[in-house]
Amino acid sequence: MKRIAPTLALALLACAPLSQAAEGGATKEQAVAMVKKGVAFIKANGTEKGYAEITSKTTQFKQEDLYLVVYGLDGMVHAHGANEKMVGRNLIDLKDIDGKPFVKERVEMAKTNATFWQDYKFTNPQNRKVEPKTMYCEKLEQTVVCGGIYK
């Protein structure tokens, strides 16, 4: 037992920084990778299966505060990794706390850019606080697939 205790203490100490890093939220690199993975999944499996997977409560496209959303270029939500109740709703007129029409801006940006970053404010699903958010998006046919991080 005397030999196990120091080993256990060192193992717990070594794991501590990992748990702290996980609480910090996703990175820009993780957002880009997640969007690319989502786009590839939709291309390989079709929109019906792709949107269902993104919206699923057990989705592979969710990590800490990072999740995917898919909007049509008309503002219609096709998939939402944090709130399935948004699917089928047209949110083109939705504004953030500062009055920024971020969905309208997002779809307009998608009409002229294959990929882009967008800044706005949104409720963080982990702490329920409105925070600055930056969203990485890729256009896919007549939709835009996005994943964002909180700053």
Model pLDDT for residues 48-91, shown as the tens digit of each residue: 999 999 999 999 999 988 999 999 999 999 999 999 999 999 99
Pick 2 or 10 by higher pLDDT.
2
Q: Is residue 73 part of a domain?
A: yes
Which pLDDT does position 38 carry in this prediction? 98
Is position 54 within any domain? yes
Q: Domain range holding 133?
A: 25-150
Residue 93 burial (CB count, 10 A): 9
Residue 140 half-sphere exposure toward CB, CA atoms < 13 A: 23
For residue 7, being part of any structural domain is answered with no
Residue 64 lies in a domain: yes
Would you say residue 19 lies in a domain? no
pLDDT confidence of 124, banded at 50, 70, 90?
confident
pTM: 0.82
- pLDDT digit string (tens) for 12-60? 333 333 222 234 689 999 999 999 999 999 999 999 999 999 999 999 9
53/14 Cα distance (integer angstroms): 35
3-class DSSP assignment, residue 70: strand
Is 104 among the domain residues?
yes
- One-character DSSP codes across 111-143: HH-SEEEEEEEEE-TTT--EEEEEEEEEEETTE
Farthest-apart Cα atoms in the chain, separation:
66
Q: How many domains does the chain have?
A: 1
Please report, for the domain that includes residue 131, its CATH number.
3.30.450.20
Burial per residue of 73-84, b for 16 or more beta-carbon CB atoms within 10 angstroms, e otherwise: bebbbbbbbbee
Distances in Å between the Cα of 69 and the Cα atoms of 8, 32, 146 are: 42, 13, 5
pLDDT of amino acid 3: 46
Instruction: Give the integer Cα–Cα distance in Å for 46 and 136.
Output: 21
Q: Is residue 50 part of a domain?
A: yes
pLDDT of residue 25: 84
Separation between Cα atoms, residue 29 and residue 6, nearest integer Å = 37
13 within a domain of the structure (yes/no) = no
Rounded distance between C-alpha atoms, residue 90 and residue 75, angstroms: 5
